[in-house]
Amino acid sequence: MGRNLKFRRRHLPRFPKPIKKTRRRIVERLLIVMIAVSLAGAFLPSVIDKNFFTGNIGSGTGNARIIDGDTIHIGTRKIRLSGIDAPESKQKCTKKDGRSYGCGNSSRQYLSKLIGVATVRCTGDKKDRYGRTIGTCYVGETDLNAAMVESGWAVAYRKYSRLYVPEEDSARLNGLGMWQGEFINPWDWRRKNRK
């Protein structure tokens, strides 16, 4: 039996000498990092809205929160509707009969009505000086930017784009939205009321 034991010892695989403590700590930390990364890779896709990013840095889809007639929030992203300018929240306009009304609030309400509870899809990859994504937004096939100008609750922002000038011309001819009376262009109102 003793002889058999010696035989086994000779043919057993040799194990390396124990790893030094510092080397062992490095290996343990690497294993922890690798496990954490693999767990994060498995967990994060279920947390991130896969539809929010659709190719470029400014594209997004989701439920919108309306800030004013030309700005919405989708998740944490603030999106400024490109090519249009809507009256500011505190801006007043005048109807044909001379009565003043809150056209900024009316513009916001109209955008809210257009969106309702629908999912909004936006595309754009530029940012303005306030860090907002400049984009074109849609509900289904409806271009919200164009719809706001066509309804008369926003104007074509000619300084940056002439894309929505035909919609503005149509709204003006039909006396829609702000065109039912008199108003100051939003960019002029902001300059005049800057504090």
Range of the domain at 80: 60-193
- Judge whether 100 lies within some domain: yes
pTM for the complete prediction? 0.69
Judgement on whether residues 80 and 146 belong to the same structural domain of the protein:
yes
Q: Residue 41 has what pLDDT?
A: 67
Active site residues: 80, 88, 132
Confidence of residue 49 (pLDDT cuts 50, 70, 90): very low
Q: Which segments within 96-147 are labelled E, that is strand? A: 100-101, 119-127, 133-139, 142-143
Mean pLDDT of 117-145: 92
- Judge whether 2 lies within some domain: no
- Judge whether 55 lies within some domain: no
Q: For residue 14, how far is the Cα from the chain centroid?
A: 60
| Residue 48 pLDDT exceeds 50 | no
- Judge whether 54 lies within some domain: no
Please give the share of the chain, as a percent, with pLDDT higher than 70.
78
